Amino acid sequence: MRRLLFIIQKEFIQIIGNRAMLPLMTILPIVQLMLLSFAADSEVKNVNITITDLDQSQFSRQLIGQITASDRFTLINAPLAMRISDHDLLAGEADIVLNIPPDFERNFLKGYPAKLQLLVNAINGQAATVGSGYLMSIIRDYNEDIRLETAMGVGRVPSRIEVASANWYNPDLNYKYFMVPGILGELVIILVILLSAMNTVREREIGTIEQINVTPIKSWQFILGKMIPFVFIGMLLLTIGLTAGKVIFDIPMVGSLWVVFGYCLVNLIAVLGIGLLISNLVDTQQQAMLVAFFFVMIFILMSGLFTPIESMPDWAQLLTIPNPVAHFVAVMRKVLLKGSGFADVAWNFRVTAIMALVFNGLAVLSYRKVS
Amino acid sequence: MISNAITASNLTKKFGNFTAVDNITFNVKRGEVFGFLGANGAGKTTAIKMLIGLSKPSGGEATVAGLNLMTQSEKIKERIGYMSQKFSLYEDLTIRQNINFYGGVYGLKRKDIRTKTADILAELQLEDKADEKVGGLPLGWKQRLSFSVANVHDPDVVFLDEPTGGVDPATRRQFWEMIYAAASGGRTIFVTTHYMDEAEYCDRISIMVAGKIAALGTPGELKERFAAKSMDEVFLRLVR
């Protein structure tokens, strides 16, 4: 036990003594947090639209007026030929093209179905769905209005279904509230996995590991001695990050921070197991970096941070189960935004604890004092 | 009291088809300075790595400090010190921090670590550099510091793998004085070297050629046996 304390002490001296490392480990992630949180905004604010009005009627002009009155849409062109509006779409200038056919008003007044054509540039899938969603709702509202107007004389108006929606947990749909906790979780994990992956292999490259291996230090003491300082760093980073998130973005913290920190602890242990395992299996720091990056990329892109896990194919959803970043992002969002308690994230705790056991077990086994 | 600090019988290490160390048998007496000579690639480092428990022997038996190498290698580690060819203290720690770390790792009490640190600093005359990083020290001082750290826990046997590589003759001289001082206190020194003048300082030497021990005896005996004037000549005869 005393031996472990000496190892921890030595690791701390090395980390703190390295003047470049400490600021790199604390300031850079905060810069990243701010940068990513401001930039990774998938809210669709501006949709460029081209409208071809072949009807040139009162109805069609009213509709165009409604669309252009919305601050989400910018009317970039209003040609009188569909050929030209198609061109706008092909050239990538228009996100959406709305074609109003010649008999739009007449059909409507006669009680025939009045048709509109909507062409969406779906290269950016999210902008396309969101943009056409906005447009559809404008058209629907307008439809409702003209039906009421024209129905006056006719008499009976079929009652409509009113949908009143509310956004729970993030009522203003503030995208940053959603992103900041997730990005913060991801940053903590990435930093720690990279640092730990480089650690043992560094000692091997320098040759100090040989001296360690002739001492009576046991494998688990060595691994634990490496791990504990990194757990501290991870926790420190989480604390700084949450503070920055609160101060800069005013992110909500509905749930218990104890659950967040408790989960972070378990997750750090699991991730450090992966990092130290990588470090034990490779021969050089360069290899460690490449292997760590391989996993880091997969962990991030399949974490549900930027794209929802629910919309991944089934096999990919299964792959997110052993992904520590996915769990961390989920727990951060659930607890901070939704106020989930321990019981609600118990599954994440359990899976992560199993990963911690497996990877650390492997790390201890793969650290060989004897060749 | 055990009279032999190291016994090796038919110790062998194979890497695939290549036999790096081939059935070597020897004893090292307690308090002896035992020189382990050989050309590059003769198997010296492999032999030493087996004895200190870094490499598992493929065959044979050995005891170090009276403990069985095959079954008690972790126990042996508490009783031996080791200094490798490559400087392997932590360059980003200070002298004091290195001594403190290794003292702690070998289970010394805080009080003992303090006295040890003071002793080492005084012996190496490094009191004023105690809180400087080890990386900045000249090579000769690094080597002597490594030796002191390898002795921090008062081991029974100290293994030195080419400890004086690349240092000037004056520093080598000082280094050997430290070795003698340790040996006179009853500590066994197992040392590999390339320098034939250093071989003369040893109580007994063995010369390895292609994984086997080609000759073993005191420097005087070996010179007599090979009718050579110096150890240089003995070595060249055997190695050629």
In the numeric block, which tokens belong to residue B131? 């809180």
| Cβ contact A210–B90 (<8 Å) | no
pLDDT tens, residue by residue, A188-227: 998 899 889 988 899 989 989 999 999 999 988 998 999 9
Average pLDDT, chain B: 91
| Cβ contact B93–A14 (<8 Å) | yes
Domains annotated on chain A, with CATH: 47-154 (3.40.1710.10), 171-366 (no CATH)
B119 in a domain, yes or no?
A: no
Q: How far apart, in whole angstroms, are the C-alpha atoms of residue A36 and residue A42?
A: 12
Option in B53, B82, B89 nearest A370 (CB)? B53
Residue type, A61: R
B184 pLDDT above the threshold of 70: yes
| Cβ contact A371–B56 (<8 Å) | yes
A268 confidence band (pLDDT: 50, 70, 90)? very high
Q: Domain total for chain B?
A: 1
Q: Which of B164, B184, B150 is nearest to B81 (CA)?
A: B150
H-state helical runs in A207-256: 208-213, 219-244
B135 in a domain, yes or no?
A: no
Option in B82, B100, B104 nearest A214 (CB)? B82
Three-class DSSP category at B15: strand
- The pLDDT of A273-298, averaged and rounded, is 93
Q: Which of B77, B44, B6, B35 is nearest to B210 (CA)?
A: B44
Q: Does B90 touch chain A (CB under 8 A)?
A: yes
Domain CATH number, residue B39: 3.40.50.300
Q: How far apart, in Å, are the Cα atoms of B3 and each of A61, A323, B60, B64, B235?
A: 109, 58, 21, 11, 29
Query: Which range is least confidently modeled, A152-166, A173-187, A207-221, A315-329?
Result: A152-166
| Cβ contact A210–B84 (<8 Å) | yes
Q: Which residue of B has its CA nearest to A5?
A: B104
| Cβ contact A207–B88 (<8 Å) | yes
B52 in a domain, yes or no?
A: yes
Q: Which of A365, A371, A261 is nearest to B56 (CA)?
A: A371
pLDDT tens, residue by residue, A6-51: 999 999 999 888 778 778 887 888 888 888 888 776 667 788 889 9
DSSP class of B94: B
Q: Which residue of A has its CA nearest to B105?
A: A3
A158 pLDDT above the threshold of 70: no
Residue from A210, A218, A219 to probe the interface with B (highest B Cβ count within 10 Å): A210
| Cβ contact A215–B105 (<8 Å) | yes
| Cβ contact A215–B102 (<8 Å) | yes
Q: How far apart, in whole angstroms, are the C-alpha atoms of residue B181 and residue B160?
A: 15
| Cβ contact A6–B56 (<8 Å) | no
Query: Which range is least confidently modeled, B39-43, B72-76, B94-98, B158-162?
Result: B39-43
Residue from B80, B105, B148 to probe the interface with A (highest A Cβ count within 10 Å): B105
Q: Which of A17, A371, A370 is nearest to A217 (CA)?
A: A370
Strand A117-120 and strand A96-100: the pairing is antiparallel
Looking at residue A71, what is its pLDDT?
Answer: 81
B32 pLDDT above the threshold of 90: yes
pLDDT tens, residue by residue, A127-136: 777 888 888 8
- Predicted ipTM beyond 0.85: yes
| Chain A residues whose beta carbon lies within 8 Å of the beta carbon of residue B101 | 6-7, 9-10
Which residue segment(s) compose the domain that B71 sits in? 4-89+142-150+157-239
Three-class DSSP category at B182: helix
DSSP characters for A128-157? HHHHHHHHHHHHHHHHHHHHHHHHHHH---
Looking at residue A154, what is its pLDDT?
Answer: 54
| Cβ contact B105–A371 (<8 Å) | no
In chain A, pLDDT over 70 holds for what percent of residues?
Answer: 94
B1 pLDDT above the threshold of 60: no
B62 in a domain, yes or no?
A: yes
B14 in a domain, yes or no?
A: yes
Q: What are φ and ψ of residue B59, in 5° steps?
A: -170, 170
Looking at residue A155, what is its pLDDT?
Answer: 53
| Cβ contact B84–A6 (<8 Å) | no
Residue type, A132: S
The half-sphere exposure of B212 on its side-chain side, counting CA atoms within 13 A, is 4
pTM for this one? Answer: 0.80
Q: What are φ and ψ of residue B45, in 5° steps?
A: -65, -40
DSSP class of B133: B
Q: Which residue of A has its CA nearest to B78?
A: A216
Window B:99-128, CB contacts with A under 8 Å: 100-102, 104-107
How far A364 CA sits from the closest chain B CA (Å)?
A: 16
B112 in a domain, yes or no?
A: no
B218 in a domain, yes or no?
A: yes
B51 in a domain, yes or no?
A: yes
Q: How many CB pairs under 8 A join A and B?
A: 75
